[in-house]
Chains A and B, each alone.
Chain A
Amino acid sequence: MLVSRLSAVRTQMIKHLVKAPLTSAPKTGNFSGHYGYIFHNPKHQTYSSTTAHEEGDKKVEEISVTFVDKDEMEKHIKIPVGMSILEAAHENDIELEGACEGSCACSTCHVIVRDMEYYNKLEDPTDEENDMLDLAFGLTETSRLGCQMVAKPELDGICLELPSATRNFAVDRYAKAT
């Protein structure tokens, strides 16, 4: 897989933060600490084509992704293989929330994969992702968390929908009649 070293490291770091067992040593963190750093540090240069040259056997190093926003407007972007969908959305000014900045702790980066065929190409969600998907607003059969989805060649051409509140926010889904 053609992933430049830095981006691989970054993805790893995100994964590490995300997948750290919930019950091991407590996660220390602070309001604008290192998580924020990982996310907001723009590193476009990371995805230069030089690595393709050095390691070059694969052709696809960027994939095309279409986002459909709340007003049904489509936006087409290119995402380097190895980058998370959330990060790519933010670098391209797509209004995908990411309240916990990719720590798998908020569910605001929820996206809906439009095509079941593409959905099936994704690895199964981990327990932690499923725990957050449980709480995602307007969950569907093909929902995933943008921060847990990493661009890979098979996903070239995927179409992702951003769930809209105004479309379906009528009652709090969690409100129970007691």
Chain B
Amino acid sequence: MANFQAGTWLFRTFSTVASQPLRVCVVGSGPAGFYTAEKMLKAHQEAEVDIIDRLPTPFGLVRSGVAPDHPETKIVVNQFMRVAQHERCSFFGNVTLGSSVTLLELRELYDVVVLAYGAESDRVLGIPGEDLSGVYAAREFVWWYNGHPNCRYLNPDLKSSDTAIILGQGNVALDAARILLRPTTELATTDIASHALAALEDSSIRKVYLVGRRGPVQAACTAKELREILGIKDLHVHIKETDLLTTPADEEEMKNNRIRKRVYELLSKAAMTRPSHPSSDARELHFVFFRKPNKFLESDERSGHVSGVRLEKTKLIGIRPGERTAAGTGQFEELGCGIVLKSIGYKSVPVDGLPFDHRKGVVPNVRGCVLSDTSGDPTLLEKGLYVCGWLKRGPTGIIATNLYCAEETVASISEDIKLGRLTSSSNSGREGLLQLLDNRNVRVIPFRDWEKIDSEERRLGNLRNKPREKLATLEELQKVATD
């Protein structure tokens, strides 16, 4: 890190020399990365922003997370595309922080580095049987149906039983449940990956259990996603009426939280509605409340494969005013299934040389400025290093949350520039990075090559009455990009 402290006389501060370009590298091209780039370009006329991503494709979870049956949510990429096409902005795909280039190298090359590489791992339950086959992280399942190259060959087992258990009741859990339960004729005209569509067409899953460790008032999903799944054609929704009984603490929680109140009301309404004309092919969605997973059960017939989950009943106990957590009661029950999706939250992974708070799974920061350690001392700042999005706040929030998050991080950068805290050396920015990657034989995918992928995907989609047919392996993506 000598480069950042030594020989200040060599450096000029940006506040005094405006004509000098401000070289900015954003790592990660999801919403946090693109919103940061957009706001940097706007706030600083001298800024040149390079966005790198480990994939050949941009847009992060807008491409690989947002459900295929939510095309209106993906419209935001129009805005991101305009950012990428800005004359002072470049996108370099196929460049991985940590292997193609190190953090130290990036910091030497650029005046400002903003890390926005999301959360690409999973929280773990830490209970027996978690590594049995048939137990997947929801992240993997989502990547699989969205054509992310890392999960192209996941091949989740949808054939060996009619039941799937999803642990967690957040929006990701609801997305996964909806994809399992929605008629495939309706999915066929979305941009769902074709390998996933074929497997879902063949799927024998008819019943999905959504298991929450707390009650219907605390369910983590939002009304929009809940309303949508409750409206699936020929779906029988099961909710135990006794689970819907509320306590004064529940009432208080709903009074203070509009989302919780509206979600609870939707669940109550669904519990009261009986299907009008039961059909034989009906699918079932069971909301299971006040149960936490205790152990994954192994199948007798298929060794190494999951056959169910042992659940412990819970009750809520207050830990702080307005905050209640689920405590086990020592009573257990078993629920059989052929597949389990753990949808209990994502988790970020650190890279070499990056301060990281392993407990919270985020980079320690104040308003987006990276702190040197987790002591919380706001004076120990990593000069020129910033963070945004899920890596900064943890894996929660919608796309729009990252807009405000980026505004905050960019405000911090601007303040540092104004106060002369950033120094410019002979950093070579883009040219230096491209040179280094070339020396390492990294095949960079610039935005115009992504545009080739984009138009090929649309062309293929067009043939199948889909908005796009995603190319789901790195080989295919690279081939189309280089052709």
Contact = CB atoms under 8 A, between A and B. Distances in A.
A132 B223 CA distance: 9
Given A134-B262, A165-B407, A29 B232 contact: no
The 9 closest A-B pairs by CB, nearest first: A29-B71, A23-B231, A30-B467, A165-B404, A103-B72, A131-B224, A105-B72, A165-B407, A99-B76
Contact of B72 (A27, A127, A178): A27
Contacts of A29: 71-72, 74-75, 467
Nearest to B461: A30
Contact of A172 (B70, B190, B394): B394
Interface of B: 69-79, 81, 186-187, 189-191, 220, 222-224, 227-228, 231-233, 258-259, 262, 320, 323, 325, 393-394, 396-401, 403-405, 407-408, 411, 454, 458, 461, 465-468
B72 A107 contact: no
B403 A108 contact: yes
A135 B187 contact: no
Nearest to A128: B224
A9 interface: no
Contact of B323 (A36, A175, A177): A177
Contact of A137 (B190, B191, B232, B401): B401
A97 B81 CA distance: 15
A42 interface: no
Given A107-B398, A174-B397, A175-B397, A100 B227 contact: no
Contacts of A36: 75, 78
Contacts of A99: 75-76, 79, 399-400, 403
Contact of A169 (B262, B398, B408, B466): B408
A172 B406 CA distance: 12
A105 B228 CA distance: 13
Contact of B404 (A104, A169, A178): A169
Contact of A30 (B398, B411, B468): B468
Given A26-B189, A27-B69, A100-B76, A127 B227 contact: yes
Interface string A104-133: 111110000000000000000001101110
A36 B71 CA distance: 12
A174 B407 contact: no
Interface string A25-64: 1111111110110000000000000000000000000000
A17 B399 contact: no
A38 to B, nearest CB: 11
Contacts of B189: 25-26, 28
Interface of A: 17, 21-23, 25-33, 35-36, 97, 99-101, 103-108, 127-128, 130-132, 134-137, 139, 165-166, 169, 172-178
Contact of A165 (B259, B323, B408): B408
A22 B394 CA distance: 29
A174 B76 CA distance: 21
Contacts of B220: 176
Given A31-B78, A137-B404, 16 more contacts: A26-B189, A27-B71, A28-B71, A28-B465, A30-B467, A31-B74, A36-B75, A97-B400, A99-B399, A105-B73, A106-B398, A130-B262, A135-B224, A135-B400, A137-B401, A174-B396
B454 A31 contact: yes
A28 B408 contact: no
A31 B77 contact: yes
27 contacts: A22-B224, A22-B227, A22-B231, A26-B190, A27-B69, A27-B72, A28-B465, A29-B467, A31-B78, A32-B77, A36-B78, A99-B400, A104-B72, A106-B76, A106-B400, A107-B398, A127-B227, A130-B262, A132-B224, A137-B400, A166-B411, A169-B408, A174-B398, A175-B393, A175-B394, A176-B396, A177-B323
A166 to B, nearest CB: 5
Contacts of A30: 71, 191, 458, 461, 467-468
A28 B190 contact: yes
Contacts of B78: 31-32, 36, 101
B396 A105 contact: no
A21 B458 CA distance: 26
Contacts of A33: 467
A103 B75 contact: yes
B316 to A, nearest CB: 13
